[in-house]
Amino acid sequence: MDERQYLERIKQALVDLNRDRLLVETQAALDEGVDPTRIIKEGLSAGLLLVGDQWIRKERFISHVLVAAKAMGAAQELVEPHLAGDSWGAGKIVLGTIKGDLHDIGKNLVALMLRSGGFEVTDIGVDVPAERFVETAREQDADIVAISLLMSVCLDEVERACELIKGAQDVRARILVGGPPVSDAVAREIGADMYGGFDAVTALESARRLLSQLRAA
């Protein structure tokens, strides 16, 4: 088999939610010298995003996404020793739900998806004041600050967080904002760099695009 066939088998095992087969296929690809970066991007991540797309189209339940993400995490553990540092492009994200909003289910799903996608996530919880996003981004030297919210009454605090982050000269992070009250237009209006959608799959795709923009700047 060529590399593409190994990658396709890895992706399909993940789509089938077959953890045992996924681990066997991943190890087989490694044993045959398939590029570990391609295993992550074109096998595991591609499979997870496909499951996520099926959930968005209401062809799967959120439980299927969670099972796929956990299976991917197990396979990633096999691959990571073969990677040269962070060669496949993982970035650092500070994630939290803004002050005044105590909802955490959506945020927790986003954190799981981002970690499965290779990001190093610092989850600072719910009801987080604007200042703490800035402080944590500075401490972690974050690439992205991701702010989640469910309630539109919290938009003013999100806007304040965006102002503080962009005003901090020692913080280089770009800002990703997501949740039902947000849209592309709202994200721009409050000073965010990108709209992250209102589901975990879109959040991962948006984070990858934002990271690419940051590294190209």
Pairing of strands 174-178, 194-195: parallel
Per-residue pLDDT tens, the chain, 217 aa: give them: 888 999 999 999 999 999 999 999 999 999 999 988 889 878 998 898 888 888 878 899 888 988 998 898 889 889 888 875 544 557 999 999 999 998 887 888 888 778 877 889 999 999 999 999 999 999 999 999 999 998 999 999 999 999 999 999 999 999 999 998 999 999 999 999 999 998 887 898 899 899 989 888 7
Q: Other C-beta atoms within 10 Å of 127: how many?
A: 15
Set out the domains of the chain in order of their start, with CATH numbers. 3-82 (1.10.1240.10), 92-216 (3.40.50.280)
Widest Cα–Cα separation across the chain: 55
Task: Report the C-alpha gap between 204 and 202 in whole angstroms.
Answer: 5
